[in-house]
Amino acid sequence: MALNVGCAAAPGRARDNKTGSWRVFKPVFKHETCTKCGLCETVCPEGCVKEDKDGFFTPDLDYCKGCGLCAKECPADDIEMVQEEK
């Protein structure tokens, strides 16, 4: 986001705001016991967990708010919330 006078911006610029900046804990997807069930993608309120070409799931940390729902709901207990230092 550019520092425009009056905080002026073209529409649709919310994408340019890396809103993950207010996260305290980040989810670490270990991909060890993962069964590729996709529940993490389903429960993510931000819609930032996506499936990769191998069928594993990863969060987009530019937008993840660190709510921890994915870690809480993961049936394989394969996601760990880790405190981030900035």
Partner 1 sequence: MMKIVEGSHAVAEAVKLCRPQVISAYPITPQTHIVEALASMVADCELDAEYICVESEFSALSGCVGASAAGSRTYSATTSQGLALMFEVCFNAAGMRLPIVMTIANRAMGAPLNIWNDQQDSISLRDAGWMQFYAEDNQEATDLHFITYKVAEDHNVLLPAMVCFDGFILTHTYEPVDMPSQEGIDAFLPPFKPYNTLDAKKPMSLGMYATPDYYMEFRYEIDEAMKRAKQAFANAGKEFAEQFGRDYSGLIEGYRLEDADTALVAMGSICGTVKDAIDEMRAEGKRVGLLKIRSYRPFPADEVAAALKGASTVAVLDKNISLGAKGAVALEVKDALYGSGITVLDYIVALGGRDIRKKDIAKIVDLAEKGTGDMFYGLRTEVL
Residues that bind partner 1 (CB under 8 A): 1, 3-11, 13, 17-19, 21-22
Which of 1/28 has CB closer to partner 1?
Answer: 1
Which of 62/77 has CB closer to partner 1?
Answer: 62
The distance of closest approach from Cβ of residue 27 to partner 1 in the complex, given in angstroms and rounded to an integer, is 20
**CA dist., res. 46 & res. 18, Å (int):** 12
**Sequence-separated (6 or more) residues with CB below 8 Å from residue 51:** 38, 41, 57
Number of Cβ within a 10 Å radius of residue 9: 13
The distance of closest approach from Cβ of residue 18 to partner 1 in the complex, given in angstroms and rounded to an integer, is 7
